[in-house]
Amino acid sequence: MIEVIELGKSYSRRKILEKVSFSLTDSCIYALVGRNGTGKTTLLTSMVEASFKDFGIVKIDGIPHHQMQAREHLFYVPDDKGMFLNLTGEEYLKFIVKLYHRTEDNILPQIEELSQALHMEDSLHDYIANYSLGMKQKNYMMAAFLSGAKNLILDEPFNGLDPESTAVLKRLLTEYRDRGSMILFSIHNLDLVSNFCDRIIFLDKNRKISMTDNAKNYEELEKLFFEKCVE
């Protein structure tokens, strides 16, 4: 569960987010949509990094996000996939397991299962620097699942994935939600949103937040998007 209270962020004198408030509950998948440049990545980064926002309060499972304890309740996959390039895929996964205080011996079967599902079993000994965008995406998503964090925040997690990998990731995210977790992801693809996620968060043209249940109807979603985010 994540609670955001009057979050604000500006660049120079330009206000990007002003007094943004909302709550995200457990056992739910949320899709964050909005036009390019409205501040989706800024919102996600402000939720994750306490020093990034200008003002406001963010609580992760009731813990203020500036406290170290909150880190174990949250895993963030940014859109920028340029980190940890000097590690192999396996080294990065084992680093995350230790960082989140998971028991490595008990987690090895899960690494094997995830790597097979995402066709990464033959690539884990390669350096992340040599991965394609899709391979980096899958490796960081594997780390998210292995962390055991109750809250996942994912910036464009389907970028670079082929249709098969997209279908597998949707299944893995649904299973993770069904174990009681909250998942928030940003996305540009309305077609994918229309058949996946429980609730939709619109960051509208005025950079205000509104939420709706996912009716799983593309025409209805497209209409809502243009009403809230464009017109």
DSSP notation for the chain = -EEEEEEEEEETTEEEEEEEEEEE-SSEEEEEE--TTSSHHHHHHHHH-TTTSSEEEEEETTEETTSHHHHTTEEEE-S---SSTTSBHHHHHHHHHHHTT--HHHHHHHHHHHHHHTT-TTTTTSBGGGS-HHHHHHHHHHHHHHH--SEEEEESTTTT--HHHHHHHHHHHHHHHHTT-EEEEE-S-HHHHHTS-SEEEEE-TTS-EEEEE----HHHHHHHHIIIII-
Q: Which residues pair with 55 in a beta bridge?
A: 8
Distance in angstroms (rounded) separating the CA atoms of residues 229 and 219: 15
pLDDT of residue 103: 76
Of 106 and 124, more confident: 124
Does position 10 have pLDDT exceeding 70, yes or no?
yes
Does position 106 have pLDDT exceeding 80, yes or no?
no
Give percent above pLDDT 90 in the chain. 63
Distance in angstroms (rounded) separating the CA atoms of residues 69 and 208: 30
Of 31 and 227, more confident: 31
Contact 182, 2 (CB under 8 A): yes
Q: What is the pairing mode between strands 199-203 and 209-213?
A: antiparallel
Q: Please, which pLDDT band fits residue 83 given cuts at 50, 70 and 90?
A: confident
Q: Please, which pLDDT band fits residue 139 given cuts at 50, 70 and 90?
A: very high
Mean predicted lDDT score pLDDT of the chain: 91
Q: Which domains does the chain have, with CATH numbers?
A: 2-73+150-230 (3.40.50.300), 82-148 (no CATH)
pLDDT of residue 200: 95
Per-residue pLDDT averaged across 43-60, rounded? 89
Q: Please, which pLDDT band fits residue 53 given cuts at 50, 70 and 90?
A: confident
pLDDT of residue 26: 96
Q: Please, which pLDDT band fits residue 11 given cuts at 50, 70 and 90?
A: confident
Give percent above pLDDT 70 in the chain. 99
Distance in angstroms (rounded) separating the CA atoms of residues 211 and 21: 11
Per-residue pLDDT averaged across 71-100, rounded? 91
Does position 231 have pLDDT exceeding 80, yes or no?
no
Q: Please, which pLDDT band fits residue 181 given cuts at 50, 70 and 90?
A: very high
Residue 144 carries which side chain, given as an amino acid letter?
A
Does position 105 have pLDDT exceeding 80, yes or no?
no
pTM: 0.93
